[in-house]
Structure 1
Amino acid sequence: MTPPDFTAFRSTPITELLGIDAPVVLGPFGGVSSVQLTAAVSDGGGLGSYGLYGYDGGAIRRTAADLREATGRPFALNLWIPTGDEAEAVDQADFDRFTGPLKPYFEELGIPLPEMPARYLPDYGEQVEATLEASPAVVSFVFGVPAPQVVEDAHRRGIKVLGTATTVEEAVALEAGGVDAVVASGMESGGHRVSFLRPADESLVGTFALVPQVADAVRIPVIAAGGIADRRGVAAAFALGAEAVQVGTAFLATRESAAVPAYRSLLFSPSAGRTVLTRALSGRLARGIPNRVTTDLADARSIAPFPIQNWLTGRFRPEAAARGNTGLMSLWAGQAAPLIRHDTAADVLAELLAGVG
């Protein structure tokens, strides 16, 4: 493909705000972010993003250093805000009860059942401190409004702050909280539904209903996410009031992604034409391609709450991925996956930017 002419995009509010050339943001992936893909999107003129779910302070600092070595362009680091409903303290009996339904998967892969950990997630305060110390160009948040002190500290360091909304009310709350731009994430998006004012099941608004309502409700720039994989989705998002797009699944399918080959191949297959909303793999509602785990654990009573379920399945998912066993992996994907045509970040960027008029 012919490389895009970035001179056409340099003067938009969102590109000036974020210090980028093109109004395309890489969706941050929890667990499958890669330095290579983040750098490729940033080097291509967009904003590469890296998901820090599960990273402690040391891992965050190392990741930021690796990103700086890989690209001299702006990039974003992404954090999950605690919602307050995380299940952290359970007794051994409950832990054993939650582990029971997963036992066949551990046995199939030849992995011993895990012992109950001291904690399931790193300390959020430690994550924030390390992220702000790393001073990325942008820090983005999901599952809530960052605390005023966090926003103030970020701005004092020259870091722009993005928040993510699944409803108009969430977008308004984020603007009131001082974020610089809001990602309007429609229900078509792959991965976790990041709702925080109402349950995710009650916040399932489609991207192209959500974007114009958010654009009307807030004064800060709006970034459209969900159901966008080619130039047509980009053009539609801009027509509805977005100033940039955030794209995940189309980039997840590229060679630069950390997704294993079996996962990437599935994204190009007819199987990607059907996605489901499930709590089976993490305990929180997320959209992905259905597989053995989502089918086996369709009964919500057998699923541990977040983050316990995510931690438990995270003990066998890496081994399943290493073996190409897609039946036992997280296969997050958005509803636009059947529109994917390209397997390099540069080609995905070129396709998306063809929709910016």
Structure 2
Amino acid sequence: MPSASIPLSELTEHPIVQAPMAGGPSCPELAGSVSEAGGMGFLAAGYKTPEAMYEEIKQLRGQTQRPFGVNLFMPQPDNADSGALERYRAQLAGEATWYEAQLGETDHTTDDAYEAKLAILFDDPVPVVSFTFGCPTRHVLERFTKRGTYTVVTVTSAGEAQTAEFLGADAVCVQGIEAGGHQGTHRDDPQADGTGSGLGLLTLVTQVKEAVRLPVVAAGGLMRGKQIAAVLAAGASAAQLGTAFLVCPESGAELVHKQAMTNPLFARTEFTRAFSGRPARALVNRFLREHGPYAPAAYPQVHHLTAGVRKAAAKAKDPQGMALWAGQGHKLARDLPAAQLMDVLVTELAVARDRVAKQGAPGGSGGGTGGPV
């Protein structure tokens, strides 16, 4: 049975985790390929029904006998400003007309069927479960421990990491501001858009390592093996990559989304509430520019409001109306099968470690300390 004293990397051959990317990319085919290649594949249960989550778990088990993970979204407070939501709905009317789509309803529950998903995972345990947008109760984490499930809580600060440790998580996924998609902050500050807050990954990993004794999985902008070596040298036990795997042929992301990663038309990323109501890093496109400044802090209500437009834009193969989630390293994306990408990353990691070891050895040219990376 896994315990808090072991790093997540000890469950896998290589210290590489495929990030759980909600909305389609993290499908059983991608997660299975990564796990089979010696990494940790992850399914994303966010936005899915409990039944759909269970079906994907069954599919993944049919593809690999190696460890894998499932990510859950924590329930969110229902404190959206109804007036602000209606004003945003009015602003998006032109988008709905253009894409011949319907704007969604915003009266959905904000718990993402959390309790029902927990019940499935307690009844039929998986090797690893991670959490985003908050930390489960001690009772929930203890129940997973009793079932032999390793638990990981996504954190964006040393304080959040301390909470996860206190409540009994096995590890923390430290998410730097470079990461694509949603920032996994435990509380969304309505006054913050994410552009001027948060810490870079290396600084954050260092702060968290000095604040807690839990193993750390580092996430945010990682695309190359030498970057993995850097976060391991900073104290992480594994690295989590999302954008790097999003472009793999096994990924369930839309083809137009994959192509946008290296398209010169999409040169940079920004944090925005435009698509979901929560700060998330995406490639800058027309929708983000036009609606980002006006989107209210209302998650997941804005997600449901814009879902029909985003799906219609994807069907029309128009990246200007889609949520093109991407990390800051998106230009480094490589269109490779997941197993081949794993091989390349592992080779790059070994080369980086060997280079530093040689530089630090007596007679080496680098004058380094010889410390392990």
User: Same fold judged by TM-score > 0.5?
Assistant: yes
The residue that corresponds to 1:169 in the other structure is 159
Residue 347 of structure 1: CA displacement? 2.5
* 2:51 corresponding residue in structure 1: 58
* Pair 1:115–1:140, CA change in 2 (3 A): closer
Tell me the amino acid that sits aligned with residue 43 of structure 1.
E
Aligned identity (percent) is 34
Matches within 5 A, 1:109-120: 109-115=99-105, 117=107, 119=109
Relative distance call for 1:249 and 1:271 in structure 2 (3 A) is farther
Write the mapping of 1:211-230 to structure 2, written as runs, cut at 5 A: 211-230=205-224
Could you say which residue in structure 2 is the equivalent of 1:179? 169
Quick one: distance in 1 between partners of 2:330 and 2:263? Answer: 9
1:125 aligns with 115
SS state at 1:67 partner? helix
Displaced runs of 4+ in structure 1, greater than 3 A? 93-98, 112-122, 197-203
Deviation at 1:116, TM superposition (A): 5.6
Q: 1:196 to 1:267 in 2, by over 3 A?
A: same
Q: Residues 284-299 of structure 1 correspond to what in structure 2 (within 5 A)?
A: 284-299=278-293
- Pick from 217, 236, 239 the counterpart of residue 233 of structure 2: 239
Which ranges in structure 2 are unaligned for 5 or more consecutive residues? 1-5, 354-373
Compared CA separation, residues 305 and 197, structure 1 to 2 (3 A): closer
Question: Does 2:60 correspond to 1:67?
Answer: yes
What is the CA-CA distance between 1:102 and the residue it aligns to? 1.5
Per the alignment, residue 3 of structure 1 pairs with none
Identify if the C-alpha distance between structure 1 residues 103 and 192 changes in structure 2 by more than 3 Å, giving closer, same or farther. same
Q: Structure 1 CA distance, aligned partners of 2:271 and 2:102?
A: 29
- For residue 180 of structure 1, report the CA deviation from its aligned partner: 0.8
**1:27 equivalenced with 2:31 (yes/no):** no
Whether 1:336 and 2:329 are equivalent positions in the alignment is yes
> Cα offset for 1:149?
1.4
**Residues 170 and 197, structure 1, Cα contact 8 Å, conserved in 2:** no
| Corresponding residue of 1:193 | 183
* Partner in structure 1 of residue 256 of structure 2: 262
Q: What pairs with 1:317-332 in structure 2 (closer than 5 Å)?
A: 317-332=310-325
Q: Could you tell me which residue of structure 1 aligns to residue 126 of structure 2?
A: 136
Q: Distance in 2 between matches of 1:240 and 1:119?
A: 40
* Deviation for aligned residue 1:317: 1.3
Give distance in 2, aligned partners of 1:164 and 1:227. Answer: 15
Name the structure 2 match of 1:4. Answer: none
Deviation of residue 127 (structure 1)? 2.2
Which residue matches 1:84? 77
User: Equivalents in 2 of 1:25, 1:156: separation in Å?
Assistant: 24
TM-score by length of 2: 0.85
Give the Cα–Cα distance (whole angstroms) in 2 for the partners of residues 115 and 182 of structure 1: 34
How many pairs were matched up? 340
Q: Is the 8 A contact 2:28 2:57 kept in 1?
A: no
- What are structure 1's unaligned runs of at least 5 residues? 1-11
Structure 1 match to 2:41: 48
Q: How many angstroms does 1:69 deviate by?
A: 1.5
> What secondary structure sits across from 1:314 in the alignment?
helix
- What per-residue deviation string (whole Å, max 9, x for no partner) do you get for residues 205-249 of structure 1? 000111122122221211111121001211111111111000000
Which of 212-221 and 338-347 deviates more?
Answer: 338-347
Q: Which whole-Å CA distance do the structure 2 matches of 1:97 and 1:279 have between them?
A: 15
2-side partners of 1:168 and 1:116: how far apart? 33
Shift of 1:114: 4.0
The separation in 1 between residues aligned to 2:265 and 2:202, in whole angstroms, is 24
**If you compute each CA radius of gyration, which structure gives the higher value, 1 or 2?**
2
Q: Is the CA contact 1:227–1:336 (under 8 Å) kept in the aligned structure 2?
A: yes
CA contact (8 A) 1:166 1:203 kept: no
- CA-atom RMSD, angstroms? 2.1
Q: Counterparts of 1:68 and 1:341 in 2: how far apart (Å)? A: 27
**SS of 1:135 mapped into structure 2:** coil
